[in-house]
Amino acid sequence: MGEIELLNKAFSDFAEASRTLEEYYKGLENQVRSLRLEVEEKNQALEKSLAETERSRRFLNNILDGIPTAILVFNQEGKILHSNSASKNLLGDSFPLDNVLDLPFDISENEVLINRKGSKPVNAMINYSGVGNVGSVLVIQDITRLKELEYQAELNRRLAAMGELVAKIAHEIRNPLGSIELFASMLSHDLGNSPLRDVADGISTGVKTLVNTLNNMLMYTRTRKIRRIPLDLKNVLNEFVNDITPLTQRNNIKVVLDDANVVAHMAGDAELIKQALYNLSINAVHAMPDGGTLSFILDTSSDGYIRLLVKDTGSGIVSESLENVFDPFFSTKDRGNGLGLSIVRMVMKEHDGSVDVSSRVGESTEFTLVFPRKNSEGEDDINA
């Protein structure tokens, strides 16, 4: 074979090798393209998976943060991995925590008291448990309110038992006091104009005050069913004013009764109403140690209510105390048990009425009692 033939064959072999190499390159290029597409798909799937994982993580964190129970997660070495918002609110200045050993209480206990700087201590129930080989979880439940309710329930139970005891004692004392008041009244009548009559009247007035105090205690500790009967509040008021005459005279108090041209028919319990009026009168007497004027003003209006204004010219009530005067056991005086005005409110509520107070310090105090009125057929005007 000549040199030319050899050279042609070499070129031919080179061309064939080039074509083979080109085809191989194209095949390799297709494989690379396919692999690149596959990698892109894998990357997109991975990104989607990571995004879903992140959404799930945020969703779980939001759920944990929305739970009022404190939850802390620790790894196997005790280092904190996660804590929800309730943990930070509950543990307060204990954060930031680095390790389970930094907790301000013993995790082996079931109930603990968590002391927090600048805040009230928290009663808590805890549960510390392992989570496989991952770590551990601590759950802290604030039971402070539950403890307060338990304490309040126990206190109410004791108060109820004490109330029963007080009611029994008051009932036993009231009977002989009634006899003393009766004999003192008879003695006052028999003494006529004797100077000793004032002594007998003083005994009678003092006993009435004691009986009123006992009645207040009995009303507060026992449920009394109101006796609703037709009555004229004007007549009840006149009877009451006559009953307290010895009390007002001894304390140099002038009583003014304004009920002219008033018809005050209603349904109610006359004794309860007198009890409320006596409580208001006792307060007025205490507010006027040097004497004064106690006014009872009865009025009816077209809105279907009867209004009875009880006004004194005493020392008045400071504005800070006005909103609390009807609370049980609240008193601005050194004497008294603070039940008088709460009984007044209770009596008015039993009569479907209301009581309001206004006062000017150093001048006067006014209590307004509002009763539903009855029409001629005996029905409530406001319900007609």
* Mean pLDDT, range 174-201, rounded to an integer: 75
- The fold of 147-223 is Helix Hairpins (1.10.287)
Question: CB–CB of 243/185 below 8 Å?
Answer: no
Q: Give the β-pairing of 253-258 and 292-300.
A: parallel
CATH class as words, domain 67-142:
alpha beta
CB atoms within 10 A of CB 186: 12
pLDDT at 293: 95
Write phi, then psi, for 80 (nearest 5 degrees): -70, 130
Q: Which residue stretches of 192-339 are H helix?
A: 197-221, 233-243, 245-250, 270-287, 319-322
DSSP 284: H
pLDDT at 368: 95
CA distance 123 to 116: 11
Q: How confident is the model at residue 295 (pLDDT cuts 50, 70, 90)?
A: very high
| CATH architecture of the domain formed by 229-384 | 2-Layer Sandwich (3.30)
Q: How confident is the model at residue 382 (pLDDT cuts 50, 70, 90)?
A: very low
Question: CB–CB of 262/299 below 8 Å?
Answer: yes
Number of H helices and E strands in the chain, helices first, is 9, 12
pLDDT at 162 over 90: no
* Mean pLDDT, range 258-269, rounded to an integer: 86
pLDDT at 191: 78
How many residues in the chain? 384
Q: What is the average pLDDT score of the chain?
A: 81
pLDDT at 377: 42
pLDDT at 337: 59
Q: pLDDT digit string (tens) for 62-104?
A: 777 778 888 888 888 888 888 888 888 888 766 667 788 788 8
Give the predicted TM-score (pTM) of the model.
0.52
Position with higher pLDDT, 9 vs 237: 237
CA-nearest of 199, 164, 192, 359 to 280 is 359
Position with higher pLDDT, 153 vs 339: 153
What is the residue extent of each domain of the chain?
Answer: 16-66, 67-142, 147-223, 229-384
Question: CB–CB of 249/198 below 8 Å?
Answer: no
